[in-house]
Amino acid sequence: MRTVLVANVKGGCGKTTLATNLAAAFAAGDKRVALADADRQRSSLEWLALRPDTAPEIAGLAWARRQEEPPKGTERLVIDAPAAMTGGEAEELVRLADVVLVPVLPSIYDEMATRRFVARIEEIKAVRKQRKNVALVANRVRTGSRAAERLEAFFRDMGHEPAGRIVERALYSELAARGLSLFDVDTRQAIELALPWLPLLAFLEGAMRGR
């Protein structure tokens, strides 16, 4: 089983959108997938409750109070981390993960929070010794905007080339209201929006093969 942790201490950075779409992408690729919701808001679990039976199956795990075991044979586990993580919680979730994805919005507040969060997790022994991959993801980006340009400058300053750049569109919330993702529909718009995810998915597969 390979595990992806989606985490940031900044609320509203798009963790759940990233986690649910990743889980759906893995499921669409014929992987046995589990989605663990460690956030007390239970947004990922609520999304799963809306998911139609016709969509590829994703097992839901409630991790806000305790860690349930993934179903036997699970190949990909995606963890939607809580925003207000303590140091101990962060260390435990990072320990479980093969890859840590940190979504960042094009906002000075998100950039400052992300800088602090990445500095904190880079102090965790497994990350410091490079046994865990930590990657940033540009989220809800409006291509060509000043905010997007500033975000790119932030990545350069951090020394982190983003593993993916996710474009902002209303389709994400429209699909989420039906328990779906970009990878569950074959409309032209969904297919176009899924293209920027391909580098991120390729990065994850490469990183997880190396574990």
Terminus-to-terminus CA distance in the chain, angstroms?
Answer: 11
Half-sphere exposure (Cβ direction) of 96: Cα atoms closer than 13 Å: 23
What is the per-residue pLDDT across 124-177, written as a single tens digit (0 to 9) for each? 877 776 667 889 999 988 888 898 899 999 999 998 889 999 988 999 999 999
Q: Would you put residue 175 in left (φ > 0), alpha (ψ -120 to 50) or beta?
A: alpha
11: containing domain? 2-209
pLDDT, residue 43, reads: 95
Looking at residue 77, which CATH number applies to its domain?
A: 3.40.50.300
User: What sign results for the dihedral spanned by CA atoms 40, 127, 112, 173?
Assistant: negative
In this predicted structure, what is the pLDDT of residue 27? 98
Q: Which residue has the higher pLDDT, 210 or 166?
A: 166
Residue 168 is predicted with a pLDDT of 86
What is the pLDDT, as a whole number, of residue 22? Answer: 97
Contact 99, 5 (CB under 8 A): yes
Task: Tell me if residue 14 falls in helix, strand or coil.
Answer: coil
Higher pLDDT, 3 or 131: 3
pLDDT of residue 89: 82
* pLDDT per residue as tens digits for the range 179-199: 999 999 999 999 999 999 999
> Model confidence over 10-67: pLDDT tens digits?
777 889 999 999 999 999 999 999 999 999 889 999 999 999 999 999 999 999 989 9
DSSP letter assigned to residue 172: H
The larger pLDDT score, comparing residue 115 to residue 10, is at: 115
Per 3-state DSSP, what percentage of the chain is helix, strand, and coil (rounded to 5)?
A: 45, 20, 40
Q: Which residue has the higher pLDDT, 89 or 135?
A: 135
Q: How many domains does the chain have?
A: 1
**pLDDT value for 211:** 56
